[in-house]
Amino acid sequence: MLNVKNLNKTVNDNIILNDINFHVNKGDVLAIIGPSGSGKTTLLRSLNLLETPNSGIISFCDGSLELDFAKHISKKETLSLRRKMGMVFQNYNLFPHKTALENVTEGLIVVQKMDKNEAKQIALNLLQKVGLQDKVGMYPSSLSGGQQQRVAIVRAVALKPDILLLDEPTSALDKELVGEVLNTLKLLAKEKQTMILVTHELSFAREVASKIMFLEGGNIITIEDPKEFFTNQQNPRILKFLGNIANQ
């Protein structure tokens, strides 16, 4: 589905991403893990051009889009890429003055020019699927963090992106609220929604991910099957990281 080739990002001569290469198939769940400052969020943001790489190529295997960052990327190309990539942020980024329902219908009506009644029905169905049918008329300030994040996920999914990008979707949540968001992601994984997520929830990554990417210092150290990564890991640096997480 998606090919990323020789992606590089530098800021003031500091290497943030160094020659990143990977492939994502349709239905994959790629979990990106690694220590703080390793470039995980920058990589995710580069995939939908919230950050602009200095060089490299992002392409879709069906030939629908190829961006070469050695060349000028037009506004039209940027919009085309973002239509293929749904983004879920750490801190929800909901419209505070819109209800849960309106947050989901906004993109359908404004971006996709969908009929309001059709958009409303799609939003209601998705909100019900994630257990928020009784929250549709509530504003973000009246929702828990977990409920807000589920609305944010539904808002992204409603636009039917080829790939859903999630940047630490549980990091802003109290521990008791993490499970409800992870259950929503498990549901999406079962439905074969292609996802790339930065996460520190290693048990979730082990259970749901089809691939684990370990990133450190802007370099991909490995991309492995979860069972191999967690059970047969030989890399001393990764073993140290996993041990540190386990002891927290």
| Residue 9 pLDDT | 95
- Write the CA distances from 239 to 69, 195, 233, integer angstroms: 35, 25, 7
Predicted structure pTM score:
0.93
pLDDT at 243 > cutoff 60: yes
pLDDT value of residue 232: 87
Instruction: Note the pLDDT of residue 175.
Output: 81
Which pLDDT score, from 0 to 100, does residue 248 have? 53
d(Cα 3, Cα 5) in Å, to the nearest integer? 6
CB 181 within 8 A of CB 149: yes
Which of 195-227 are b and which e, b meaning 16 or more Cβ less than 10 Å from the residue's Cβ? bbbbbebbebbeebbbbbbbbbebebbbbbebe
Domains delineated in the chain: 2-246 (3.40.50.300)
Q: With a cut of 80, say whether residue 164 has pLDDT above it.
A: yes
Is residue 104 predicted with pLDDT exceeding 80? yes
CA dihedral over 225, 217, 69, 6, signed as positive or negative: negative
Is pLDDT of 32 > 80?
yes
Average pLDDT of the chain?
A: 92
Residue with token string 């994984």: 189
Q: Number of helices (H) and strands (E), helices first, in the chain?
A: 9, 10
Rg (CA), the chain: 18
What does the pLDDT average to over 79-92? Answer: 91
Per-residue pLDDT, 116 = 95
Q: What is the pLDDT of residue 63?
A: 85
Express as a percent the part of the chain with pLDDT over 70: 98
Residue 33 makes CB contacts below 8 A (sequence gap 6+) with 40, 198, 199, 200, 202, 205, 212, 213, 214, 215, 241
Evaluate if residue 45 carries a pLDDT over 70. Answer: yes
pLDDT at residue 246, rounded to an integer: 54
Q: What gap in Å lies between CA 12 and CA 100, rounded to an integer?
A: 41
Per-residue pLDDT, 123: 96
Whole-number pLDDT of residue 62 = 85
Phi then psi for residue 81, to 5 deg, are: -65, -45
One-letter amino acid for residue 237 of the chain: R
Angle in degrees, 0-180, between the axes of helices 145-158 and 100-110, rounded to the nearest 10: 20
- 3-state SS assignment for residue 190: helix
With pLDDT > 90 as the criterion, what percentage of the chain qualifies? Answer: 78
